[in-house]
Structures are given as C-alpha cells and as structure tokens.
Amino acid sequence: NAGVTQTPKFRILKIGQSMTLQCTQDMNHNYMYWYRQDPGMGLKLIYYSVGAGITDKGEVPNGYNVSRSTTEDFPLRLELAAPSQTSVYFCASSSPGGGGTDTQYFGPGTRLTVL
C-alpha cells in the first residue's frame, strides 16, 4: 500500500512550456485534491474531484486543468507555465465517506520552478 504517490519530485520549466503533474492513490478513495503551497501562505486548493469523471474548481484554478478518468489517477495540467506557478504542489485523497470529516492523505509533493 503506497498511499498517494506523485511524480516528478522536482521540475524546472521555462515560461510558456507545459507539463502534467501525476498523482496516483491506491486506497480506493473517491475524493482527490490538488493544492499548491507557497512560502508563508499555507496550502490553497486548486481543483478537486469527487469521483471518476467529476471535477470542480477550488480557490486558485486559473492556469491549471485536471481530469479524472479513473478512481486512482488525478493528473494536474499546466498549459502555459508562468513564474507565478512556481510552487510546491500536493495531491491528496480522502476516504469513500468523503465530506469534511475524513482524513486527507497527502503525497510527498512536486517542487516546480518556472523560469
């Protein structure tokens, strides 16, 4: 049981490039989330999904896209990278019961730098 895995761990992009951050969980969780963490700012929700085929915007969705074709995978896409997207990105998932009561399990993060 690996929990939530994210790839890559580190990435440097040039302005305007695109990339996909991968996230996979093996806990059969229905709910999955993408957060970004900026220094001194806590974590902010980018997108979330309540199940395969269903996604919704969080607090800071601009410049990102997501898809959820399977229960296990929840990739985050950056189409035109900008310096403002330099951040650490965390994927998380929560148990089938969902809602605000269930523990979110976090991946180790992807550190992205846009130059």
DSSP-derived secondary structure letter, 73: B
CB 60 within 8 A of CB 36: yes
Is there binding between residue 109 and another protein (CB under 8 A)?
yes
Angle (nearest 5°) at CA 11 between 7 and 14: 140
Lookup: tokens for 11? 């990435």
Span 25-44, contacts to another protein by CB under 8 A: 30-31, 33, 35, 40-44
- Pairing between strand 4-7 and 19-25? antiparallel
Give the binding range for another protein (CB under 8 A) out of 16-24, 69-77, 79-87, 94-102. 94-102
Span 58-87, contacts to another protein by CB under 8 A: 58
**Beta carbon nearer to another protein, 33 or 64:** 33
- What span, in angstroms and rounded, lies between the C-alpha atoms of 42 and 52? 28
What are the residues binding another protein (CB under 8 A)?
Answer: 4, 30-31, 33, 35, 40-45, 48, 50, 56, 58, 90, 92, 94, 98-101, 103-109
